[in-house]
Amino acid sequence: MRPHRSATILLLLLAAAGCRHAAPPGPLPQGWQTLVAAPRNFAALYRFSCCGHRDLVLTARAGDGRLSLSVAVPPGGTALAVWVAGEGGWVNRVKEGCREPLQKGVLPVSASSSLPLDARLVALLLTGLLPSGAREMPELPGWVEATTEGYLWRARVEGPEPHCTRVLVARAGDENPLLVVDIESPLGSASGVPSLPRALSLVAGSVKAELTLQAWQTSEAPSPPSWLSAPVCGAKP
């Protein structure tokens, strides 16, 4: 009997990822369902590397379906700012002094690079949680999957304290991942959030990004940034 096609693709991805993921997966840890939860509103600070740049500072605030994200080059100066709320969003083109509409399901991480994520998926990744409806994959022990908002989300969960170590995100109905995320060294529970990730490595095609957590706290949901009053790029006066 031939292996299920989904399991075959996942195993190939594991083998290509290096020793940490090459070992045969074990069973899901007891209590893994505790990761199926809505993220709390939070604010977080990360060291960020992407797209040929290192040691950037990324600030993220998320809550109530909204996401405010900014990337700065130390010691100061905003390189990129993004606002996502509901179905729409904006990118602040800082140098041009204008704002540009953001395509749904796309999160810019530099002036020319982006990741296939929306505000809700970003919140799940940064808090180490799983989407609603996540279910065990019998064909691949140790993995769970969920279909959410047009995405197929698959995650490797390890223990003894349940935590995600790898996430694959694809379009629903497509087995080829758009995004592969490795989650390293989970921290202990913080402010009621289980298995808060310390570091994340994200790969989407040729785009590679790394985040290392510096600070995290629960907070109010983000408010619309002041730069939303800037003119739309290319608009006639």
pLDDT tens figures, 188-237 = 555 455 568 999 999 999 999 999 999 999 999 999 999 999 999 987 66
Note whether residue 225 is domain-resident. no
Token pair 């064909």: residue: 139
If one compares 137 and 51, the residue with the highest pLDDT of the two is: 137
Token pair 């399991």: residue: 7
Note whether residue 222 is domain-resident. no
pLDDT, position 193: 53
pLDDT, position 9: 52
Tens digits of residue pLDDT in 16-45: 444 444 455 678 999 999 999 999 999 999
Number of domains comprising the chain: 1
Q: Tell me, what CATH number does 54's domain have?
A: 2.50.20
Q: What is the DSSP string of 7-38?
A: HHHHHHHHHHT-HHHHSPP-PPPTTGGGGBSP
pLDDT, position 195: 66
Note whether residue 142 is domain-resident. yes
pLDDT, position 215: 93
Tens digits of residue pLDDT in 73-90: 877 788 889 999 877 899
Note whether residue 237 is domain-resident. no
Residue 64 has pLDDT above 70, yes or no: yes
**Mean pLDDT over residues 114-123, rounded?**
89
Residue 13 has pLDDT above 60, yes or no: no
Helix (H, G, I), strand (E, B) or coil at 121: helix
pLDDT, position 34: 92
- Please give the structure tokens belonging to residue 136: 């065990």
Q: For residue 85, give its domain range.
A: 5-215
- Please give the structure tokens belonging to residue 179: 């995004």
Helix (H, G, I), strand (E, B) or coil at 226: helix
Could you give the CA distance from residue 179 to residue 204 in angstroms, rounded to a whole number? 5
Name, in order, each residue with C-beta under 8 angstroms of 86's C-beta and a sequence gap of 6 or more.
65, 66
Share of the chain above pLDDT 90, in %: 55
CA angle, 191 then 195 then 201, to 5°: 120
Q: What is the average pLDDT score of the chain?
A: 84
| pTM, full prediction | 0.85
Q: Could you check whether the bond before residue 160 is cis, i.e. omega within 30 degrees of 0?
A: yes
Residue 46 has pLDDT above 80, yes or no: yes
Note whether residue 90 is domain-resident. yes
Note whether residue 147 is domain-resident. yes
**Mean pLDDT over residues 171-197, rounded?**
76
CB 26 within 8 A of CB 38: no
Note whether residue 207 is domain-resident. yes
Note whether residue 227 is domain-resident. no
Residue 58 has pLDDT above 60, yes or no: yes
CB 140 within 8 A of CB 6: yes
pLDDT, position 69: 95
